[in-house]
Structure 1
Amino acid sequence: MKKCLILLLMLLMCLSGCGTLSQSDEISIVLLHGWGTMEEDNQAMREIYSEFEKDNPDISLKLISMPSPENVTSKVKEMISVGKLPNLIYIGETGIDTLYSFMVTQGYVIDIMPYIEKDKEFQSMIAPETLMKWKTADGKLYTVTDVLNTGGYWYNKQIFENAKIQKTPENWKEFLECCKKIKQWAEQEKLDTVSMHLDYNTIECMMQSYIGGTDSDEKSISEALKLLNEIKDYADVEKNYTYRDRLRSFNVGHSAIYAGGIASEQKINPKLKMEYAMFPDKNNKDVAMVSAYPGYFIGSSSDTKQKEACIRFLKYMLSEKVQTKIWKKTGQIPSNPSVNIADLSGQNDVIYEAYAKLKKADIVRELPGNDWDFEQREDFEANIFRYLSGDISEDEIVDSLKSK
């Protein structure tokens, strides 16, 4: 009788153990990312990350959440210094000229291309923009992104109407006139409303639209600088502003124009009447700025099973289910070319209309962060506000840019 009971207990233990994983079978990976704030899009991205474990119960994903991409850069270097390189790292624009180059040249990240080449499903998920920008001359690919970044501007329709602006500016002359009308209306109504804040990122975005990169001819760069100098008379020059400062101002109706990507809509006051538009180039054609920034990297210290788990994570983030969720929850444009955003219209009509305008643009260009090199950006940022305050001339800025 005792033997029967023992055998029965052993059988029950075996059955209860079936379908579960022991800790030794579980693969553990760490993701370091910059979606660490309590903003809605940040919370949505962390939720999407956490759901990876539900679809992959044999993988444990630990998140190290930083409040910004800048913090990710410093955290990676700190972890490298103590020999604790994360298995996965997400950086974005901030790390293009610093972290990306450092990790690739020092061998801290692996080439993802061999995994892509042997997996047709994975191949179909990779954005052409990623391959065009980040595939090296010898065919290697160290990063994959799950979203495409965009550049243009949102404008407050109510302020435009109050200032008697009948339509969206179609050229730089009309844009300048628009800024002038907003200033005149605000002064007449004794309001502190401004047309826009000219911080560095806004200026850089406008320059990129006009000239299409710092390799443009000197005449075009000089023309763009003169235009900025005219606009500044009807705008608010803010050297130390961040995008959050501009966003706060736009949300309370203090500024009429906010330069940023389509995904910014998620952070804008839903009570505002607003529309999306694009800055024109020097020939007054609409310019859509679309870029694949560096996204996810796989750390070279990962073992074989961890690398395979990281690839599964990348495929999860690029899957149509997750890409659709990213679009719905954050307004970011899915990078997977198989995702048809037209099928998602009705989910968020404001964002969809902005995306439709982007697709109809006359010209598509990279965002400045993907197009200007590090020295040029540093040099331009150091000099542009000196120029706008009259301390240096156009020629001095042009000469300085061309010398880099």
Structure 2
Amino acid sequence: MRRGVSIAAVVTVVALTASACGGSSGDSSSKPKDPKDIAGTITYWDTSDAATEAPTYKALIKQFEAKYPKIKVNYQNVPFTDVEQKFKSAAKSGKGAPDVVRTDVGLMAEYAELGYIAPLDGTPALKDTGDFSSVPMNTTRYKGKTYGVPSVTDTLGLLYNKKLLKKAGIAEPPATWDEFIADAKTIKQKTGAYGTYLNPDSYFLLPLLYSNGADLADPAAKKITISDAAAVQALTTAKKINDEASMKVDFANAYQNMQTAFKNGKVAMLVQGPWSVSDDFTGTAFSGDKNNLGFAPVPAGAGGKAQSPTGGHDLTVYQGSSNLPASYLFTQFMTSTQSQIAIAKGTGTLPTRKSAYTAEVTADAKIAGFKPILEQTARARVALPQVGSLFTPLAQNYVKILQGDESVENGLDTTAKQFQQLLPGYSVG
């Protein structure tokens, strides 16, 4: 999932770019011809869950070191919530930055603009790129260069309780937001359960924006589009879902309450990601019957197309690394087909390579369920260094709209003005 970026950091993007630690430009001409000759120590910052996912990555690192005995990997698990500011601080100062870092896809443009990560085009890090799905591969590019290698991916889909839909007489999950609202009302009327629980986080608003042909901004036109007619239509639909289709939202603890209600059968449908499925299976609605959990694309809007944001992580190489050859080789190894198969089996995350979707990997219901959703609906977020920071004012005004404290139009106009402070030189569409 995406993380926010501090306003102060965004305001100083230009200045920081000028002062960013230099290093290699990514030219691989000086690297030994034989990978077995590459030697030295590199540091890897891993943001995977320390308890449930990190053991899989540590096991792969041991395999890498066995294959390349002259290279030592200094593994460090850095909490996902801390890594952004920690990496930017280290990269800016030129002290303590890792050689390779697991990077949220929403941060790629900012890190590249700041000059903190190396372009990887023409290096061994990018191997067999045609095997990568275009969906996660699109998250690695910025201004014509490739700055990362896709490691794991995800997106938002529609999770649903099959038994509740069947009890309500609904044969298929809703294909449009209008159907979604209508089905939610039917479910409440016929089963007593709520149709949905609206997540008021602005990241979960993206499917509504995208499916209505809206977005946060248009970099090519240098225009802020969050208050245009398509966005107004998307937010109007979101307000209608909140008012007519959703269980009452506890804005102070929305995510946890949403999850609890869904997994225990009090809510029939959720816009959610694959990271929630393990928790869903612990609830009374699914613990004894995992097949009761259904997977579908998010509904389509007035734009006629279901679309959802691409999430996940890419591996990036620090521009100032003192051992770029080993960093490239490590990145290549950790994103290979065999590594991705091991990661999928060990952590339940979705691979980014098409060849990694083996029968054994897709035996995981979550991976099998989200694979077609990724292929059909996922799209990269707008490639702006400030994109993470845009979610903060959007979230604040979105909540005001949902609570009835602001009209849709006024709330989005306020959001657009706040975006202008983060996007100098951009006009409001």
| TM-score interval (norm. to shorter) | 0.7 to 0.9
Residue 102 (structure 2) pairs with residue 86 (structure 1) = no
Across the aligned residues of Structure 1 and Structure 2, the Cα RMSD in angstroms comes to: 3.5
SS in 2 for 1:108: coil
Please show how residues 283-362 of structure 1 align to structure 2 within 5 Å: 283=302, 285=304, 287-289=306-308, 291=310, 295-303=314-322, 306-337=323-354, 339=355, 341=357, 347-356=363-372, 358-359=374-375, 361=376
Return the letter of the residue paired with 2:177.
W
Q: CA deviation at 1:352?
A: 1.5
Map Cα deviations across residues 62-95 of structure 1 (whole Å, 9 max, x no partner): 2211232x21113324545581111111121463
1:282 and 2:301 correspond: yes
Question: Quick one: structure 1 residues 333 and 311, their matched pair in 2 at CA, closer, same or farther if it must change by over 3 Å?
Answer: same
Distance change >3 Å, CA 244–CA 89, structure 1 → 2: farther
Per the alignment, residue 75 of structure 1 pairs with: 86
Q: Out of 142, 148, 151, which is 2:147 matched to?
A: 142
Q: TM-score, normalised by structure 2?
A: 0.71
Structure 1 residues without counterparts, runs of 5 or longer: 1-24
Q: For residues 130 and 266 of structure 1, do their structure 2 counterparts lie closer, same or farther at Cα, with a shift above 3 Å needed?
A: same
Deviations 1:193-242 (A, max 9, x none): 66224221333333333334234783322222221122112313243447
How does 1:90-169 map onto structure 2 within 5 Å?
90-93=102-105, 95-96=107-108, 101=110, 103-116=111-124, 121-124=127-130, 128-129=134-135, 132-137=138-143, 139-169=144-174
Structure 1 residue aligned with 2:208: 206
Contact kept? 2:149, 2:335, Cα under 8 Å: no
Residue 179 of structure 1 is matched in structure 2 by 184
Matched, 1:223 2:237: no
Contact 1:196 1:257 in 2 (8 A): yes
Cα deviation, residue 317, structure 1 = 1.8
Residue 330 and residue 36 in structure 1: after superposition, are their counterparts in 2 closer, same or farther (change >3 A)? closer
Structure 2 partner of 1:19: none
Q: CA deviation at 1:276?
A: 0.8
Q: In the alignment, what sits opposite 2:76?
A: 64
In structure 2, the partner of 1:195 is 196
Distance apart, 1:175 and its partner CA:
0.5
What's the CA shift string for 1:296-334, capped at 9, x where partnerless?
22123322xx21111111111221111222333334332
What is the rounded CA distance, in whole Å, between the counterparts of 2:300 and 2:71 in structure 1?
48
Query: In 1, Cα distance between the equivalents of 2:61 and 2:308?
Result: 27
Structure 2: gaps spanning 5 or more residues? 1-37, 217-224, 420-429
Identity %: 19
Contact 1:85/1:299 (CA < 8 Å) preserved in 2? yes
Pairs aligned (count): 362
Counterpart selection for 1:33 from 31, 40, 46: 46
Kindly provide the CA deviation profile for residues 110-145 of structure 1, in whole angstroms up to 9, marking residues without a partner as x. 2222315xx8845445554466444343x4332222
Are 1:382 and 2:386 counterparts? no
Query: Which stretch shifts more, 211-220 or 82-91?
Result: 211-220
- Is the Cα contact below 8 Å between 1:34 and 1:72 reproduced in 2? yes
Q: Give the match's secondary structure for 2:160.
A: strand
Q: Which amino acid in the other structure matches residue 204 of structure 2?
A: T
SS in structure 1 opposite 2:158? strand
Deviation per CA, 1:343-389: give whole Å up to 9, x if none.
Answer: 55752245324423554x4x553357989934542332110111111
Give the residue type in structure 1 aligned to 2:409.
D
C-alpha contact 1:143 1:296 (8 A) present in aligned 2: yes
The structure that has the greater radius of gyration is 1
Partners of 1:369 and 1:94 lie apart in 2 by 8
Structure 1 109/366 Cα, relative in aligned 2: closer, same or farther at 3 Å? closer
| TM-score, normalised with respect to structure 1 | 0.75
Whether the aligned pair in 2 keeps the contact of 1:52 and 1:316 (CA below 8 Å) is yes
In structure 1, C-alpha distance between the alignment counterparts of 2:307 and 2:165, rounded to whole Å: 22
* Amino acid corresponding to residue 368 of structure 2 in structure 1: Y
Q: Give SS of 2:146's match.
A: coil
